[in-house]
Amino acid sequence: MVDTLTTEQRRACMQAVHSEDTTPEMIVRRLAHSMGYRYALHNKNLPGKPDLVFVSRRRIIFVHGCFWHKHNCRHGRISPATNSDYWNSKRQRNAERDREHIKVLRKGGWSVLVLWECWTRDPVSLRKRLENFFHEADSPE
């Protein structure tokens, strides 16, 4: 499929994307809550402003959009046809910043889980990922 959007249309599409309360994030939030876990949202005092913060467990979850954070799935490998240098550079900076934030958080004693947008489409697998992540928190060290 050929991208037929004008630069102005592409810009409007990209500006319409939100960074908080996205559909994938809401799926993860509802699932974590249904599993009995309580969390804080978008803590501005932590690097990367994590989507879900489980303070007492020292656990953090980021819910990343595949396109914006360059996941290696088909959605993350898409490159816009218009102004592609700008958008690819922006996405690359996002991915680099993500890696740096995760590194700083882990050095600070946080366990970090990144959940990709495409993973939220499989609720059984998503639940298993969350169970594994929280089970690590419950295991004696």
Residue 8: per-residue pLDDT: 74
Q: Say if residues 88 and 76 touch (Cβ distance below 8 Å).
A: no
Beta bridge partners of 62: 114
Decide: helix, strand or coil at residue 9.
helix
Q: What is the mean pLDDT of each run of 10 residues along the chain (141 residues)?
A: 62 61 92 96 95 96 94 90 88 96 97 97 97 76 43
Q: Say if residues 125 and 119 touch (Cβ distance below 8 Å).
A: yes
| Residues contacting residue 115 through CB under 8 Å, at least 6 positions apart | 24, 28, 61, 62, 63, 64, 126, 129
Where in the chain are the domains? 19-135
Q: What pTM does this model have?
A: 0.83
Beta bridge partners of 40: 53
Residue 16: per-residue pLDDT: 56
Residue 140: per-residue pLDDT: 46
In CATH terms, 19-135 corresponds, of 3.40.960.10, 3.90.105.10, 3.40.50.720, 3.30.70.100, to: 3.40.960.10
